[in-house]
Structure 1
Amino acid sequence: MTSRTPLILVAGWRGPTERTAHALLRPGTIVVRHDLADVYEGVVRRTLTTTDDERETILELAHGCISCTLREDLLPLLRRLHERSTVDRIVLLLDPLIEPEALCWAIEHLVVAGIVGRVDAPAAHDVQVQATITCIDADTWLDNATGDDELDDDRTTAQVVVGQVEFADALVVRPGSDGWHQARLHAVLSRLASEAPMIWDEHGDIEALLRRIPPTARRGAIFDAYSPLLRGRPPLEHDCGIEIVEFDARRPFHPGRLHEAIDVLLDGVIRTRGRVWVATQPDHALLLESAGGGLRVTPDGPWLAAMTPEQLAATSTERQALAALRWDERFGDRDTSMVILIHDADPDAIRATLQWALLTDAELSEPHLWANWPDPFGNHHEDPCETTAQAEQETSLLEGERR
């Protein structure tokens, strides 16, 4: 039992998000929407909708960005709505620019201070994510997910739409007009979000869809490089050109060759996600994520073999047990594990290219030389490699501040 207010996130790029969110309206439910169309001009339109009322407020933000919208309005608003006796459920209708995973991280970790009569705490003190529903337009989603169009904030459209589906607990699909295209989309969705129940009807029963969400659903949980990469039971066979490719290795990558090999993860690939062991960075795993033509590689916590006793004591017993099954006397739990979802690529070529990027036997025998190799992944890596100082400064919470 919990006294926290249930929170439902409705996300999507061009799908039936507004219809889906408003289908959840009933007495006690409030739908919250922040329209970010003019956020870079410092203006956000916030709408609160109930069964008998709709109120719009124009917010002027000193630092017009998505991150400050969360910090200054949305997170405090969630805590205030929890206090209303007339509200027993909150539905967040997310602007297409907002990635639900980053928002859930903010709800769980960012402290909201200065609310009169309330202890300083994250919004999760008062609300609990019940589900994330992602809405999809069948005619456009695959093109968006496999492209390389960039947004104004240095993300790509593919990174946003793929992340929205991967994080979903349930899917609402607006059916398309082409049967083959729709079959390929179904093959992708059943692998990218294998546990998520879906309806191919934008007019479907959304409350019934929520009841179909399994107990093992994410419900806002944040995964890292050490989390399971194949959740649920995604189909592993080839279907309509869609296939999951797995790559595992118990020796590190050469940083230079891995950088050369990265293009194989961007051509004909919908999604790559995994932990990567690079020889020049022996203490931390790198979290590698690609979507369409965009890729991000970031440090994501230490290996068990590199932890202090205090860090090890704070690590989950599940992770320690899994690591013990594959523990190496020399390298501990260090390894590489990737899952690659392809739509127009050669699985054998991907595996061969990644295998080529691993250390050779001769290189593996000279670990004293590893630290001297140039490392293009030194701190943070994105593709395309060229980034401007302004883009780095404008990196917001929703572009990876949780890392």
Structure 2
Amino acid sequence: MDPETTGTTRVPLTLISGLVPAATADLAEEVRAARPGTAVVHHDLREIRGGVVRRRLQLDDRDETTVLELAHGCVSCTLREDLLPLLRRLAGTPGVRHIVVRLDEAMEPEPVCWAIRHVLVGDRPVIDFVAIDGVHTVLDRGSWLADATGDDTLAERGLQASQDDERTVAQVALSQAEFADVLVLTGTADAWTDAKTAAVLDRVAPAALRTTRLADVPPDARRGEVTDMHGPLLHGEPPLGADCGVATLLFTAQRPFHPERLHDALDVLLDGVVRTRGRVWVASQPDMALWLESAGGGLGVGHAGPWLDAPDGPAWTDVSPERRTLASLRWHPVFGDRASEIFVVTDQATPAEIDEALSGALLTDAELAAGQREWLTYEDPFGAWHEEPCEDTDETQDVNVTSGTEKQ
């Protein structure tokens, strides 16, 4: 029976992510031991390219593994066809007082939380039946920094989440850490690796609680709330100074980028940069904000939706208060809320050289004066987009946990 139709409260749900499966399994077992009535769900994606997913469900004395065969081997299908319906059923199962979703190494918690909140199962989203009470990410102190700054792809590690998954290990490692309410540190590392790992985490996940064991989620944690791409780029307050060679840059501009010069300048984000995230205004696409993201040696560019000032932009009343505030502060009488804002965490590169490269990709005064009609004639290398084969409805587009961006 459904919790809301019977007047009962929503069942608490915890997500556990990380690149160290043994440690995430241990953490899930800790939760089971601490909270009687906990159901633990885990989908093993190692055979997903062949359309096979192995789902393990643990509840009290039950420990069942089910082999699922999917029409398309991708995480979107796993979420839509099995995980989301299963969560709704578990929420209505007598004796289930808590649910833990232990994510496969290749899965990122943010799109899973988006699916729980927005994708309908029957006539309602799963969030009507569960309450996300925290996202825990497990990090190995000895290997996480190398993963987060390296060039290895998931395919090279045997961790692809679909046939066309082109993500790097760094992209997954950083997105798992950034979305966490609690970072659980396991393993050991030398003093320098420990210090540098802490410096990176201070900047990419400043609001997350760091611990070495199961801990309560802080009261002000985001608890699976998905961020608006047009809202603040970071939760918390990262340090402004450098530490262990790790520094930050917040690049902002209220004139557009020249598409070809920006494309060339992006190389500066692939060497000596830990992380890049931000919104980009490109002159050849005046109505659409682009989302720029890099991690280690991987970089992607995707759509972030229309600007408020665009002809088909959302109404002010339909966007978050944070987006309205940011737009009001920077509103331009001609260009409206169009602007670029990019947050960069550097390692070997310096913020000054990145700022110089990005600044050089902006339109010159003469190009700006030429106007939008001229801008539309520019060659645009950002015009092609990668799509998953099962993404045939708007409802599932943002559920995709594999590469949804065009690699540059």
- TM-score of the aligned structures, taking structure 2 as reference length: 0.88
Residue in structure 2 matching 1:282, options 282, 286, 290: 286
Q: In the alignment, residue 250 of structure 1 is paired with which amino acid?
A: Q
SS in 2 for 1:397: coil
Paired with 2:245 and 2:31, the residues of 1 have a C-alpha distance of: 36
Paired with 1:2 and 1:261, the residues of 2 have a C-alpha distance of: 55
For the aligned residues, what is the CA RMSD? 2.2
Paired with 2:247 and 2:147, the residues of 1 have a C-alpha distance of: 18
Match of 1:128 in 2: 131
| 1:225 CA drift (Å) | 2.6
Query: Structure 1, residues 123-176: CA drift from partner, whole Å, max 9, x if none?
Result: 222112111100011111111111222224211111111110011111001142
Match of 2:20 in 1: 14
SS in 1 for 2:229: coil
Residue in structure 2 matching 1:210, options 216, 228, 235: 216
Residue in structure 1 matching 2:181, options 149, 169, 181: 169
SS in 1 for 2:309: helix
SS in 1 for 2:283: coil
Residue in structure 1 matching 2:380, options 334, 352, 375: 375
The structure-2 alpha-carbon separation of the partners of 1:246 and 1:80, relative to structure 1 and needing over 3 Å to count, comes to: same
SS in 1 for 2:381: coil
Matched, 1:24 2:31: yes
Residue in structure 1 matching 2:142, options 122, 134, 139: 139
Alignment of 1:41-52 (within 5 A): 41-52=50-61
Matched, 1:327 2:331: yes
Contact kept? 2:249, 2:343, Cα under 8 Å: yes
Alignment of 1:152-167 (within 5 A): 152=155, 153-167=165-179
SS in 2 for 1:260: helix
Q: In the alignment, residue 102 of structure 1 is paired with which amino acid?
A: P
Alignment of 1:311-322 (within 5 A): 311-322=315-326
Contact kept? 1:67, 1:398, Cα under 8 Å: yes
Contact kept? 2:291, 2:304, Cα under 8 Å: yes
Q: In the alignment, residue 210 of structure 1 is paired with which amino acid?
A: D
Number of equivalences:
380
Percent of residue pairs bearing the same amino acid type: 50
Residue in structure 2 matching 1:196, options 196, 208, 211: 208
Contact kept? 2:72, 2:390, Cα under 8 Å: no
* Structure 1 gaps, min length 5: 114-119, 382-390
Match of 1:253 in 2: 257
Matched, 1:399 2:406: no
SS in 2 for 1:81: helix
| 1:313 CA drift (Å) | 3.4
Contact kept? 1:274, 1:339, Cα under 8 Å: yes
Match of 2:48 in 1: 39
Q: In the alignment, residue 54 of structure 1 is paired with which amino acid?
A: D
Match of 1:5 in 2: 11
Matched, 1:270 2:274: yes
| 1:358 CA drift (Å) | 0.4
Matched, 1:244 2:248: yes
The structure-2 alpha-carbon separation of the partners of 1:3 and 1:307, relative to structure 1 and needing over 3 Å to count, comes to: farther
| 1:180 CA drift (Å) | 0.4
| 1:5 CA drift (Å) | 1.3
Query: Structure 1, residues 2-23: CA drift from partner, whole Å, max 9, x if none?
Result: 8221110000012621111111
Q: In the alignment, residue 346 of structure 2 is paired with which amino acid?
A: I
Q: In the alignment, residue 127 of structure 1 is paired with which amino acid?
A: V
Paired with 2:313 and 2:68, the residues of 1 have a C-alpha distance of: 48
The structure-2 alpha-carbon separation of the partners of 1:160 and 1:254, relative to structure 1 and needing over 3 Å to count, comes to: same
Matched, 1:105 2:114: yes
Residue in structure 2 matching 1:223, options 221, 227, 233: 227
Paired with 1:380 and 1:286, the residues of 2 have a C-alpha distance of: 12
Contact kept? 1:253, 1:359, Cα under 8 Å: yes
